[in-house]
Amino acid sequence: MKEVKEATPNGGALAGLRVVELATVLAGPLCGQTLADHGATVIKVEPPAGDQTRISIHNVDGQPAYFSGVNRNKACIALDLSSPRGKEVLLRLLETADVLLENFLPGTLEKWGLGYHAVLSLRFPRLIHCSISGFGADGPLGGRPGYDAMAQAYCGLMSVNGSKEAGGTRHGIPIADIASGLNAIIGILLALNERTRSGRGQHIDVSLFDTGLALQHPYAAIWFGSGVAPGPVGNGHPDVAPYNKFAAKNGDIFIGAPKDIQFRRLVQFFGHPELGDDPRFSTTHARVANKEALEQLLAPLIAQYDFEVLSDALMRAQVAAAPVYSIPQAFQAAHTAHRQMHVRVGNYQGIGNPIKLSRSKATIRSVPRGFAEDARAILSELGYNQSEIDAMFSDGSVPAPGAIAG
């Protein structure tokens, strides 16, 4: 693991961008952290009870692991937005903000008198308001609560994941949440670009439902073209072979040789070049039609090798292959260190930023903060004096640092 020392701001691609994040759990905080890694000033505003992920059974050095994973580089404050004082503080924050990022149940901000179209867009015409929700605000499912698993279920993602024997299975990675966070980043950057021409902000509507459907490639395209509903595909692929997980001597390996030339290299490597001319396997269509027979021939050849040695050897022979690693193995790999994807600042460990810019590099400027840790500093910057701040701490409209409501 390559150690990353406490970074000094290099400007970053988004330096000068101010984001107020009202989001909790995953999609919104992931969006906010990515913007912050690239230089944006992100102020995370939590409810009095704190971000839901601050309560976690998995803790590292007293910091909840789930919260820590998507909340670095942010300043933290908490507000009771149902109170007049809490709402007033938020409005002061928005006076200098470019982006408001939230994932409340649709209608929540309107209930507090903070709806975008009726209030915020009129008061802050340059503000970009990004909402992330389960199903959006309208339509048959509009306004309903939604989590990642619900999106996976509704959008057919579970139906194509898993094996034919076990049936559809939830993706272990919260893929709809993560992809929604990435879509939110795209939406914000699109709106910022448009604002340079119009001078106006706009509302961005990102839903886990839309994202889940958008992830359905190639399976939706297969259904559009054939009318046949795809089922669970296991570790294989419906259109190419060999493209599957195999058991090696001491671990599993994934091998992908979908092109004819790659397949010929594969069987040449194993000392059976004649399989490249076998009519059952000489073309992509033939290999897919005879996938089971092909995998039965390859399995004993693969089983003789160490999984890491074989993977490296095949890659050197220009055949795509990879050892099937555990999470610890993946983050301890030499290439992970080289790509700076396992980072450390003091006791903090995190996933590196995957977006590499040649000049404006992502940085880690601060580790995840404690609950409302920056409240006093943020309020002072907004112009409140110490007696006003103490009064807000006292009445709970702005919870004091560390004072999560029970």
Is position 342 annotated as part of the catalytic site? Answer: no
- DSSP classification of residue 8: P
Residue with tokens 């076998």: 278
**Which residue spans within 230-318 are E strands per DSSP?**
243-247, 252-256
Collect all residues with Cβ–Cβ distance below 8 Å to 193 and sequence separation of at least 6: none
> How many secondary structure helices (H) and strands (E) does the chain include?
18, 15
Angle between helices 260-269 and 307-316 (to 10 degrees): 130
Active-site pick, 38, 58, 217, 237: 237
- Per the CB < 8 A criterion, the answer to whether 209 and 151 are in contact is yes
- Per the CB < 8 A criterion, the answer to whether 273 and 267 are in contact is yes
Reference 133, options 80, 184, 98; nearest CA is 184
CA atoms within 13 A on the CB side of 207: 21
Distances (CA, A) of 342 to 3, 69, 279, 313, 337: 8, 12, 46, 26, 6
Q: Distance between CA 214 and CA 151 in Å, rounded?
A: 11
320-329: list long-range contacts, CB under 8 Å, 24+ apart.
320/255, 320/256, 320/257, 320/262, 321/253, 321/254, 321/255, 321/256, 322/253, 322/254, 323/251, 323/252, 323/253, 323/254, 324/245, 324/251, 324/252, 324/253, 324/254
Q: Distance between CA 4 and CA 337 in Å, rounded?
A: 10
Q: Distance between CA 222 and CA 42 in Å, rounded?
A: 41
The residues annotated as belonging to the active site are: 237
